[in-house]
Copies of this chain bind each other. A is one copy, B any other.
Amino acid sequence: MDQSPTANTSVTVADVAHKAGVSKATAARVLGGYGTVSDRAREAVTAAARALDYRPNELARSMTTGRSGTIGVVVGDIENPFFSLAMRGITDVARQTGFTVVLINSGEEIDTEKAAIRTLLAKRVDGLIVSPAKESDVGHLKEATRSGRPLVLLDRGSDALDVDTVIADDRHAAEGITCRLIALGHRRIAYLTACDTPDHRFRTPADINTGSVRRRIEGFLGVCRDADLSGMEDWVHVGAVTPEHTRRIVTAMLESSQRPTAIIASDSVIGLEVFKVCRQLGLGIPNDLSLVSFHDADWTSVTTPPVTVVRQPVYRLGETAARLLVDRLNGKGAQASRVVLQTEVIERASVTEAPA
């Protein structure tokens, strides 16, 4: 029969009040830390709470206050180092400011994302940080803001949405590396992304729903056009959604007669896979193929050769998004702000002149 003394079947303020010999209201004032209370009462309540091992029920508190102290985060894939690092930035700020984070993985699928938003709104999160899977399909996000809960977009913006947005200067970064490659004599430059289109083919940037990637491709194509390279749309490859897909695409690309002399990988997971395929096919980097990857993942500096990358301030991306959201939740927000964080190209040895 060992019922522990702390058979805590939810001790409530009423229980504490009773034990302390005061009214529920007074006990609530002490435990909730509001209103004015005498020292005598405060001590009595505190002692009673300790004796009963009182635990506040945040759910009940949220009910009346309307604030849950929670922010909802929807990312594409927490397993991707990009998101896990951004997530670290978000959780750090959340902890410092007394918020709790609910994480949902969208798997970059729009339906999952919609369901996630619905769930989070039902749970009454105070605000949202979302990395939208599709820039074009943001009705559910609009709805979220309409319900009065602030939203911050992470890494991907949307012109249709006038909300706080934190992105990197993707277009500029893409322009930079494309220029560099062209200057080195590259003409057959492939751009490879996980973003997909219905028929798995790329025609125009408008096909790409992920804002950050679309901007990069626009930058890439723009520079190519300026350099009088035409038809570069054919060199944009979509659908590298898994390592297997990536391997298939890259293998096909590298085994074709017109194989690229340089590849730009849209994230480090893809970059890694490109690297692996090259090694497998016996192609040398950079002599047979130059490689540039987005995201300065930790391993990129340690391969042979080390990989030239676009360093994105990923932690700060998450941190800034969270700070923006918290500020707004504290009523500090003015107009929607669009923060563009700068990227930086880290030149390493995976890029060289195009082979003759």
Binding site for B on A (CB under 8 A): 4, 6, 8-9, 55-60, 62-63, 68, 70, 77-79, 81, 83-85, 87-88, 91-92, 95, 100-105, 112, 119-124, 143, 146-148, 269, 272, 275-276, 279, 297-299, 301-304
Contacts and interface: CB of A to CB of B under 8 A. Distances in A.
Give 3 closest A-B pairs by Cβ, nearest first.
Answer: A299-B299, A84-B84, A304-B304
Contacts of A6: 143, 146
Contacts of A56: 122
21 contacts: A4-B146, A6-B143, A55-B121, A55-B147, A57-B124, A59-B59, A59-B62, A59-B63, A59-B123, A79-B88, A83-B84, A87-B103, A91-B105, A92-B105, A95-B105, A95-B112, A101-B104, A272-B302, A298-B299, A302-B303, A304-B304
Stoichiometry (number of copies): 2
A120 to B, nearest CB: 8
Contacts of A105: 88, 91-92, 95
A61 to B, nearest CB: 9
A103 B84 CA distance: 12
A79 B68 contact: no
A49 to B, nearest CB: 13
B77 A124 contact: no
Contacts of A84: 78-79, 81, 83-84, 87
B122 A55 contact: yes
B102 A100 contact: yes
Nearest to A306: B279
A6 B139 CA distance: 14
A77 B84 CA distance: 9
B304 A122 contact: no
A81 B84 CA distance: 8
Contacts of A269: 298
